[in-house]
Amino acid sequence: MKRKVYNEVIYDEQTPLLNVPELVDNKTSNTVCFKSKAKDMEPINLPTERVPDWQNKAVELFGEMLDKYKGLRLFMDSCVRCGSCSDKCHYFLGTGDPKNMPVSRQELMRSVYRKYFTMQGKIFKNSKDCVAFDDNILKDWFTYFYQCSECRRCCVFCPQGIDTAEVTMAAREIMARLGVGTKYVTEVVHKVYTTGNNLGIWAPAWIDNCKFLEEELIEETGLKIPLPVDVNGAEVLLVPPSADNFVNTNTMLGYAKMFYAAGVSWTTSTFCNEGGNFGMFLNYHNYKTINNRILKAARDLNVKYILWGECGHAWRAGYMTRTLSGSMDFLTVKYPKHVCQFTNEMIKKGAFKLDKTANDHLKVTYHDPCNVARATTGMLEPPRDIIRATCNNFKEMHPDTTREKTFCCGGGGGMLADELMSMRMAGSKPRCMAVKATGANYLATPCAICKANFGESLKFWDTGAVVGGVHDLLSNALILNH
């Protein structure tokens, strides 16, 4: 990708990142997702092409969602267009496109809501605030609701408490049920049903790669450290992002070393070896169905509890398991748990011998994944505690950009598609500038999507840092007994 010319800004610890400059070459707003293919829509219970009489169907679906999700109707009515959210969105900060202000993006849906579901629309039918659902509005929905990563940062600053992600999810659900989806998201959902994971890796390849990583561990440590697959009766079912087994392999090795040192039996499942849930970026039916597969895998393997791996939106879905997919009472640990929570508990119990100097070549900072920081509880400190226990050189980013106020990586929400590369780079700027300000050369984050986008954006913005997992640092610091 050809590098554009950007304004340069240097931030120190005292400089809030609230005035990130706009792009000089403002063309990223024209970036649109590729449309889904029939071969991926049919297997996931969605129309393979736009449904007949789709305008009326869209209004019908909108009404159905307003009745089903009371919060959505509240969010449609409660916005006062104050603009508090405007400069909080990384895509607006990166592109300068006014339609990427969260309030403007929501207006694309509210204008349709006013037309069909309010007295204003019935009386003032030609009002500019009341827009018919037609080809133009559908085009804008498809463009801009897929330029929202559902990160919820704007929600933190909204005085009305409006959840923008819920609005985005509702718009995407309506489009999906009309037969309008994106190639990237629908293809991934189809893959998880077919192969058990988002990458489309078949079970024999998953098993072979686990064996390959076991050989790497023997070479590195001299120990036979297992990466078990489909072991019945193990204590833990680990559901990592599939990228950890094939791309972020240092994170996968970190899991294996951690379980070995803790003396805990564990396994992955070839039926469902993926924590990531792209149904969240498409529609509720697939969101729930994908999560149900994890519980089925746990039942089939008779494990005691489930640990979700280093993936932000996987943890958001996992955290909701009891309301999304039903009771976890068949497990010994009857609630969702993240692998960072488990590892941190083991550290606090003194289960590991750690040599922090093993990471002295790294200057570490930490990125809170959006869904970890804002969509769940109890996961702000455990990753940081692990980093502090395994590293001597750790520096936080500016407090206006951490924890609940964290910026998105720029590639979340089903936007990690090649055709959106320029949009992803623009959206990543606020976070990358915050990384650069710390002087870190290693950005730790427990999210595979963040790792994927930062793998490109940290280089694009010349930060001097690389991205990796939290368990990568643990892997370096662990002293294993022979």
pLDDT digits (tens, 9 = 90+) for 341-375: 999 999 999 999 999 999 999 999 999 999 999 98
Dihedral angle, C-alpha 128, 130, 132, 138, nearest 10 °: 90
Domain with CATH 3.40.50 in the chain: 354-479
Mean pLDDT confidence for 326-339: 95
Band the pLDDT of 28: cuts 50, 70, 90. Answer: very low
| Residues 408, 409, 410, 413, Cα dihedral to 10° | -70
pLDDT of residue 3: 33
Q: Convert the pLDDT of each residue in 107-120 to its tens digit.
A: 999 999 999 999 88
Element housing 307 (H / E): strand 305-308
Q: What is the pLDDT of residue 470?
A: 98
What is the C-alpha to C-alpha distance for residues 154 and 147, in angstroms, rounded to an integer? 14
Would you say residue 2 has pLDDT above 60?
no
Q: Where in the chain is the domain with CATH 1.10.1060?
A: 52-178
Which residue, among 414, 411, 352, 417, has the nearest Cα to 386 in the 3D structure? 352
Q: What is the pTM of this model?
A: 0.91
User: Top-level CATH class of 354-479?
Assistant: alpha beta
Per-position DSSP letters for 160-182, written without gaps between them = T---HHHHHHHHHHHHHHHT--B
Given CATH 1.10.1060, say whether it is the number of domain 52-178.
yes
pLDDT of res. 104: 94
- What pLDDT does 136 receive? 94
Backbone angles phi, psi at 223, to 5 degrees: -115, 150
Q: Is the Cβ–Cβ distance between 189 and 44 less than 8 Å? A: yes
